[in-house]
Every structure is written in structure tokens, then in C-alpha cells.
Structure 1
């Protein structure tokens, strides 16, 4: 792994993940290795300050925290997920890069039961569209409560526009998650974040292959 986030590329990250998760079942290992070509990790890590404490909501197999630990960006990371199965792979990956003392992973029943913190950085990457629409505002509020004053909330999810990209996202979730999801509409997260004392500092649309991503970075007042 490059020591600088500036040198991270989808190809570099894919190779890193393929080696890191070598004890995972091969189909899962291949999916993890392919993810950097879809998810813009290279964009996300740049918003994590050096020596930060990080909470990753819906961490899955812990890939985002593994990247941050590998490049020496974080002081401590906590990952949580409602699915406990991927967390075993996350813990194994943390041990393999010598970061077991810096990375913790815990199962939760919902975002409200996540560790309280506060944390310098709270991340919610490709999570909100899996949460029922009626509960999404509360999920953003839960993330805001766990963000330290002056800290950063990183939100990334699939775009709902244009329709052909939205269809690609929905098909992807139906195939791999066996779930028919409703994408988060543009403007909703910004409104919920503002109500929770978060100030929008960065907004970016990131196209990757047939997918589109909406990145929002907020600062806790």
C-alpha cells in the first residue's frame, strides 16, 4: 500500500484487498477486490485527518477502516454492522495488517445502538439506502450525535439520478443483497444534517462505471 492517500488508485486498492482477504471464500474475496472500481475509497480517505478516531456505520468487512489503518491515517477505528457475519473477515484483516489494537468491530441492532463516541470522523458509506425511508432522518441524527464538536461526518451513497444509473444500483442490490431498495433523494440528507447541527463543507458527484455516487462531507458545529 502507498503511504500517501494521493497514490491510492482503484487498481492499487483492488490488489491490496485481494491479498488482505485471502482467507475469505473466493466469491467474497473477488467481490471485495472489485469494490474499489465501484466505491471511491480514494476520495473518502482524503477527508479523514491524520490521527483521527473513526466510527464506520455499516462497515461490512471493514475495508474502509483497513485502508485508513494501512496508510497510517487513523489513531483508532470502530466498525459496526447489523450483519455480524462480515465482521469476522474484518477482524482477520485487521490482524493481518497489524492493526488489531487500533480497530474494533461490533455487531449492532440498528444505528441507534452504535458506540456513542464521540469520534473525530463518522462515516456512513452506502448504508442509508438500506434503511427504511421513515428511519433515515433518525439515522443521520444518530451519526451527528456521535460526531465530536469540530469533527467530520462523511456521507456517501448511490445517486438517484439519472434513471439509468439508479436502475443499475437497484439491480446491483437486488442481485447481491437480495433487497429492493429505494434510493435516497437528493437534498434529503443535507436537510436532515442541518437539523442535527452539521454544516455542509463538500459536495461531489462521482461516476464510476455504470454507478453514480453522491459524496457529502459535513462539519459538526
Structure 2
């Protein structure tokens, strides 16, 4: 069941709390099927959007690789933080929800969403920011370095590669993530080993400018921000 078209979307800024983000996403995704609407609404309690936003400069062109329903780009567009956002994913259904949210936000001229078969088909750009959030743990380990390489090639000189994924550190938070993914995807995922993305980034001359471990509820997140040299 879909919400009425009269649903208003609350304004949002970088200081928004998870509860405020929940209300924002619940309104922005009111034209999508109820299960996805609820998932989008509760995601701010798990995903540290507040930490990601600060690494996207104002007026940036952004590519979100594996964007799903487009939550990150929807948030950036609503905050009027970016000039353009392109999301791409290998699954069609979430992209329909992303397009519906963009239209409801009045951002259909800023945000576009593309169905791809692999990261190699993503728009070339280059982009000021390329984001890859909770993607690599779904990629077979043998293919991860190639997927990473394809994504970072789309970062312009001086630009930023924004990486966030679930923690591989032993313990309950890692187990909670595995159980969560199994419930929703029927996939027992294998997290990206610690140090792997740093090694791949070094192969592509990217500099690590920020790294942080972020516990949220029962989950743990690894945030890495890399910058490409100006030349």
C-alpha cells in the first residue's frame, strides 16, 4: 500500500538525528512499496549517514556505486549539497524506488539512476566523489579488487572515494551483520578483511585521509575516505 500524494517531506540538514532522518526517509519514500519504505526509514539507525555527509563537498558531482534505493543521494539532494548525483545498481526494483523518491523531492533533474550489470558499466565521469556503501561484502572475494578498481577509476584528480562497509572484526557485531544479511538476502556474507581496501587503494595511488570504526546499535561499520592526487 502506498501513501497519499499529500505526504509532506520534512526539511533536513547535516545535524539531523537518526529520528529526524527516519521521518525524512519515511516521507520521501512514501511512493514505494511498504516493506522498502520501512527499511529506508529505519536505516539511519544502522547506517552512519551523518559521518558520510561530511566528506562530500558542496556542489559535488557524486557517483554512488551499488546505490540500492538511493538513500544517500536522496539525502544529499534534499540538503542541496550536490550539483548532480548518479546512482547505479545491478537490481532493478530498488532503482524504481530511488526514482520515485527523487521525483517526490523535486530532484529528478539532479538525480539519475541506472541499471548496470557490473561496475564496469557505471558512468565514467570522472566524479568529485565516488561512494561505495555496503557493497563489497556482497561481491565474491575473487572479484573484489576488480570492483574496487573499477569504482576508483571514476574519481577525478583531487576527488574522494568514500567507502563504508560492515566490520570484519571478530565478535558479536560481525555476527549480527551476518544474521541480518541472511534474514534479508538468504546470503551468509563474508566481510572484507581488515586492511584489504587500504592495500587496493595504495595500488591506485589513493591516499587514506580518514579511517574510523563506527559502532551503531548491534552493528559495526568501517569507514575509509581516500583522496586521489591532483595529478
* TM-score, length of structure 1 as denominator length: 0.97
1:214 counterpart residue number = 222
1:125 counterpart residue number = 133
Contact 2:11 2:24 (8 Å CA) reproduced = no
1:177 counterpart residue number = 185
2:108 counterpart residue number = 100
Counterpart CA distance in 1 for 2:208 and 2:91 is 30
Contact 1:3 1:72 (8 Å CA) reproduced = no
1:150 counterpart residue number = 158
**1:165-192 CA-partner distances (Å, limit 9, x unpaired):** 1111111111111211100011000000
**1:30-80 CA-partner distances (Å, limit 9, x unpaired):** 111110000001110110000000000010111000000000110000000
Counterpart CA distance in 1 for 2:175 and 2:108 is 39
Counterpart CA distance in 2 for 1:131 and 1:110 is 11
2:41 alignment partner, SS class: helix
Counterpart CA distance in 1 for 2:16 and 2:64 is 20
Contact 2:32 2:100 (8 Å CA) reproduced = no
Q: Say whether residues 1:4 and 2:16 are aligned partners.
A: no
Counterpart CA distance in 1 for 2:104 and 2:52 is 23
Q: Say whether residues 1:86 and 2:118 are aligned partners.
A: no
RMSD between superposed Cα atoms in Å = 1.0
Contact 2:73 2:87 (8 Å CA) reproduced = yes
Counterpart CA distance in 1 for 2:96 and 2:139 is 23
Contact 2:166 2:221 (8 Å CA) reproduced = yes
Q: Say whether residues 1:24 and 2:17 are aligned partners.
A: no
**1:116-140 CA-partner distances (Å, limit 9, x unpaired):** 1100000000000000101111111
Q: Write 1 or 2 for the structure with the bigger share of helix.
A: 1
2:61 alignment partner, SS class: strand
Runs of 4+ with deviation above 4 angstroms: none
- Alignment gaps of 5+ in structure 2: 1-9
- Alignment gaps of 5+ in structure 1: none
Contact 2:12 2:21 (8 Å CA) reproduced = no
Contact 2:152 2:161 (8 Å CA) reproduced = yes
Contact 2:161 2:225 (8 Å CA) reproduced = yes
